[in-house]
Homo-oligomer: A and B are copies of this chain.
Amino acid sequence: MIKTPILLNSAEAEIIRVLKKKHVISRTDILDFSGWSKAKVSQEVRSILDKGYLVEVEDGVSQGGRKPRMMRFNANLGYVVGIDLGATSVEVALADAVGTIVQRVAEPADVHQPAEEVFGRCTELILGLLDLQGCQIDQVLGIGVGVPGPVDFSRGVLVAPPLMPDWENFPIRSFFKKTFPTAFVVVDNDVNLMALGESRYGEALGVDHFLFVKIGTGIGGGIFSNGKIHRGNNGCAGDIGHICVDKNGPICRCGNRGCLEAMAAGPAIIQAGLQAVQNGESELLQQMIESNEGVLTPEMISSACREGDEAALRIIRASGQMIGDVLASLVNFFNPSHIFIGGGISNFGNHLLVAIRRAVLRRSLPLATTHLQINFSRIGSDVGIYGVLALVLDYLFVDEEKPFLSV
C-alpha cells in the first residue's frame, strides 16, 4: 500500500482542490467554490497559511471594491522529482511543490541494462539536480517514475514488460526510498502519464473520454474514461501496439504475427524505407542514406515526405492507415471525444495525421465520430514529464479520508 506523505484534513483538502483549478486564489474564491461561510473560510485559510501550505502573494485586481488578497501554493514546501524513462532515453526533472520545473536533465538510456543500473543512474541524475538547485535530500517530497511497460500501479512494479523482461517485480518504490527516505514514490506507465499530462496541461483539459496514442519505437495508448486514467485489471490497458492488423503479417517481438506495432511503428517504417530504396523506388531516400553512412532514420523519411517523395509518402500513408484502422475499432468501442497522437514519430506531420483521420472516419460509426477530434499533442515531447509531475503532485497532498485521489 502506498503511504501518503502529507495528510490534509478535509477542509484543507478542499482548499487544495480549489488550488488545482485556479493557481492563485482569494478567500472569496474559496467561499464561492466550497459553499462555506465567510467565517469558516477565514478560519481555515488562517490555519492553512499557518501550516505553510499556502503563501500570500500580491493583491489581485479590484472588482469595484477592496482588492482580494491572493494566495498560492507554497512552492518552497519542498521539491518533487519526475522521471520519464523511455526505451532509449531518460529525462529527469526537479520541480517545486507547485510543479514548476526548476532543473532538468536528459540523456540516453538503455532499458536492456539491469534495472539497478538504470535506476541507479536516475538516482545520480536526481542527486545532481538537487546539488545544482542547492537542495537537500530530505526536501524531496515525492518521486514519480514513468516506465515504458505495464505497471501494477498499486504495487509500483512492472508486470511482464516486453521491453525489459528482467525488470519484472523490481521494487522501484523501495529502490528510491533507500536514497530518498522522506519521499513518496509513484510508478506508472509512460503513456498513461502522457495522457495525464495532456489532460492537465494540454488540450484534453476537462475532457472526460479520450485516448492518447504514442507512436515511436512501439505503439502504446493511454486511456481516460470518466475523467480518470483507465489502467485495467493488470495495469496493461492501452496496449494497442499488439492488436492484430494482418494475420499473415511479420512476426512481432511479442511472438504474434501482424501486430500493429510490427507493421506501422518506427522500425517498420525504416524497414519499408530501406526496402523501397532496394527496389529503386526512391532516389531521394537513397541519396539521404548514402550521405548518412548507410543509416536511415525516421527524420529522414519525414523530410523526404516534406519534399514530396512518393515512396516516403506511400510508406507514411500506409502506416497511418493501419493505425487508423485499429483506432476505428477502438473509436467504435470506446467512443472518445478526442484522440491525441504523440511520441517520436508524430512529427511526420500532416501526411500521417490525414491518413489516420481518413481511416478512422471511413471505418467508424458516424455517431462515434460526430464530435471526434484527432490531433497531434501540442505539448510535444514534454507531455510525459508534465504528466509524471502531475501524478506525484496529485498523490502528494491527500485528504485523510480518501488516501487515493482520483487521477
Which of chain B's residues have a CB closer than 8 A to the CB of A208? 233
Bound-state Cα–Cα, A231 to B159, Å: 29
Query: Is the pair B365, A242 in contact by a Cβ cutoff of 8 Å?
Result: yes
Contact residue among B226, B232, B254 (Cβ-Cβ distance under 8 Å from A335): B232
Which of A179-187, A282-290, A326-334 lies at the binding interface?
A326-334
Contact residue among B234, B371, B372 (Cβ-Cβ distance under 8 Å from A367): B234
Query: Is the pair A243, B335 in contact by a Cβ cutoff of 8 Å?
Result: no
A228 contacts the other chain (CB 8 A): yes
Query: Is the pair A244, B363 in contact by a Cβ cutoff of 8 Å?
Result: yes
Bound-state Cα–Cα, A171 to B254, Å: 50
Which of chain B's residues have a CB closer than 8 A to the CB of A336? 232-233
Bound-state Cα–Cα, A54 to B236, Å: 44
Bound-state Cα–Cα, A235 to B244, Å: 27
Which of chain B's residues have a CB closer than 8 A to the CB of A223? 333-334
Q: In the complex, which residues 227-262 of chain A have their Cβ closer than 8 Å to any Cβ of chain B?
A: 228, 230-240, 242-244, 254, 256
Query: Is the pair A332, B228 in contact by a Cβ cutoff of 8 Å?
Result: no
Query: Is the pair B232, A209 in contact by a Cβ cutoff of 8 Å?
Result: yes
Query: Is the pair B159, A333 in contact by a Cβ cutoff of 8 Å?
Result: no
Query: Is the pair A240, B333 in contact by a Cβ cutoff of 8 Å?
Result: yes
The secondary structure that dominates the A interface is loop
Which of chain B's residues have a CB closer than 8 A to the CB of A254? 365
A150 contacts the other chain (CB 8 A): yes
Bound-state Cα–Cα, A238 to B160, Å: 28
A4 contacts the other chain (CB 8 A): no
Bound-state Cα–Cα, A329 to B261, Å: 13
Bound-state Cα–Cα, A22 to B225, Å: 29
Q: Please encode chain A, from 196 to 224, with 1 for each CB lying within 8 Å of some chain B CB and 0 for all others.
A: 00000000000011000000000001010
Which residue on chain B has the smallest CB distance to residue A328?
B244
Return A189 CB to nearest CB of chain B, in Å.
11
Q: List 26 A-B contacts (CB under 8 A).
A: A160-B365, A160-B366, A160-B370, A162-B365, A221-B333, A223-B333, A226-B226, A226-B230, A231-B335, A232-B334, A232-B336, A233-B335, A233-B336, A233-B337, A233-B371, A234-B371, A236-B365, A236-B368, A239-B333, A239-B368, A242-B332, A242-B365, A243-B333, A244-B328, A244-B363, A334-B334
